[in-house]
Amino acid sequence: MVGNLLGNRRAAGPAAAAMAAGLLLGLVWLAGAVPAGAESPADTVPSGKLTLVQAVVCEQVEGLGPKNPAVAFPMELGEVVCFTNFDPVPEATVIYHQWYFRDVPSSRIRLRLRPPRWSSFSRIQLRPGDAGPWRVEVLDADERPLATLRFSVVE
């Protein structure tokens, strides 16, 4: 339709050409095109430092968020999840979820974060003998602690 309107400009007259130009501009706007040299909102990176806004231990992640956060989990649950949410994430980076059982390192999970904000999670599978005190340390890319989450697994 746009090609016909633009191609038949002489026959259709100035009103059709204006309508075609308006339609073309509308399509460009809908497609999210940005003028040369400008940044689209998706390309802008927030300034500041990486900020952890939420860190919880929960039963599972549902709908992009933690479900049933707690400090004690029954063994029959079968797994425990550490959920972290960052806003802003000024640049692509990594974090670590370092899991400890009775103060002994159990698992270290490397997770990628991307601007402008990002949520991530890791999980452990519970096995017989895993009842007792646990903790998860959330570390930045330089292994500086951002949060420590303590919880227990009960029989």
Task: Report helix, strand or coil for 30.
Answer: helix
Rg over CA atoms, the chain:
26
Q: What is the pLDDT of residues 12-52, one digit of tens each?
A: 455 444 444 443 333 333 333 333 333 333 444 455 799 99
User: Which of the pair, 139 or 29, is modelled with greater confidence?
Assistant: 139
Q: What is the pLDDT of residues 50-101, one digit of tens each?
A: 999 999 999 999 999 999 999 999 999 999 999 999 999 999 999 999 999 9
Strands 72-74 and 145-154: parallel
* Residue where the block lists tokens 């009103």: 15
**Residues 6 or more apart from 2 whose CB is under 8 A from it?**
20, 23, 24, 27
What is the pLDDT averaged over residues 115-141? 97
Q: In the CATH hierarchy, which fold is given to the domain comprising 52-154?
A: Immunoglobulin-like (2.60.40)
Parse the chain into domains and list their residue ranges. 2-31, 52-154
Do residues 122 and 111 touch, judged by C-beta distance below 8 A? Answer: yes
Q: How far is CA 120 from CA 55, 62, 115, 126, in A?
A: 10, 12, 13, 20
